[in-house]
Amino acid sequence: MTQRVELATLRDRLVVDGLITDYAMAVDDGDWEAYRSLFTADGRADYRSAGGIEGDAGRVAAWLAESMRVFSMRQHLIVNRRVRFGILEQDTGDTARVQADYVNPMRFAEPGEGSSAPDFVCGGRYAFGLLRTDDGWRLREVVVQEKWRRVPERISPAVID
């Protein structure tokens, strides 16, 4: 590999890593416009393993906006990011796949209880599919594979499904 290719790959890795961070922050902050802007025009997300929906980024953003209202605090911790670049139309580096583990603590919004509201914590693995576009790297696909969750005993699991 030439030094120029290595530097371009390093730059792409940093940009892809930033995009994954932007994704987590958009969800945690409830910034659904920013969430939608991270996707390609045909981008999709699949939250079914966590009790959610699958669909285009706009539909999923609307669902997240409604379903996340039950939580007053959200914090995605996305770690162990494995980035692999692929080939699209004979050009190396136009696609990327990222697998990353996550832990997602959230606090239920309960009137009058403030910080003593119970926690809900889940964890699993994301699979991100990315595409280099004229506007830079964008998410083409996000698939959540929830592996575990901890729900306080006094909260019914039906509240979060």
Domain CATH number, residue 12: 3.10.450.50
**Cα→Cα distances 1→7, 93, 95, 157, Å:** 10, 13, 19, 52
DSSP secondary structure letter of residue 34:
H
Please report the pLDDT score of residue 156 as a whole number: 53
* pLDDT of 130 over the 70 cut: yes
Domain that holds residue 39: 3-159
| Phi, psi of 70, deg, nearest 5 | -70, -15
CA distance 88 to 131: 9
Q: Which amino acid is at 53?
A: I
Q: Tally the domains of the chain.
A: 1
Q: Which amino acid is at 89?
A: E
pLDDT in tens, 38-71: 999 999 999 999 999 999 999 999 999 999 999 9
CA distance 55 to 53: 7
pLDDT in tens, 11-24: 999 999 999 999 99
Please report the pLDDT score of residue 92 as a whole number: 57
pTM of the prediction?
Answer: 0.86
SS3 assignment, position 119: strand
Please report the pLDDT score of residue 86 as a whole number: 86
